[in-house]
Each structure stands twice: as C-alpha cells, then as structure tokens.
C-alpha cells in the first residue's frame, strides 16, 4: 500500500487520522506516525485498512 505524509487513513479498528511522519522500513516493519484529534500514535502498516484521501504533490 502506498502511503505518504499528509495522507488521511482509516485503520482496521475504525479510527481515522492524518499521517504526520513515515518511518522507513528496514530491520523493523513499515510504520507511520498518525495524528488522531489531539494525540499521535505510531501505527504499523498492517493496521491500516485504506487511504481515504491523498495529499497532492507540489
């Protein structure tokens, strides 16, 4: 799944949030820092259901 910074995603648990940082895969699995209302959380790619909205490239 192609996910980038500022994309809005829906998690498998139903929450929706904005990707504010993309951690590059390496030894650890691909993960993203996602903002939900007033807090952020690190989420693994396999916890994301789909991209709801993609940020346009400038």
pLDDT of residue 10 exceeding 90: yes
Q: Whose CA is closest to 6, among 42, 58, 56?
A: 56
Q: Say how many CA atoms lie within 13 Å of 40 toward its Cβ.
A: 11
Rounded to whole angstroms, how far apart are CA atoms 46 and 30? 9
φ/ψ (deg, to 5) at 12:
-65, -25
pLDDT tens-digit profile of 43-53?
999 999 999 99
**What ranges do the domains of the chain cover?**
8-53
pLDDT of residue 57: 67
pTM value?
A: 0.89
């Amino acid at each position: 799944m192609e996910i980038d910074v500022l994309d809005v995603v829906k998690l498998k648990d139903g929450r929706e949030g904005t990707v504010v940082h993309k951690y590059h895969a390496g030894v650890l699995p691909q993960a993203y820092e996602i903002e939900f209302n007033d807090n952020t959380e690190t989420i693994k790619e396999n916890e994301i259901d789909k991209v709801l909205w993609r940020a346009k490239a400038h």
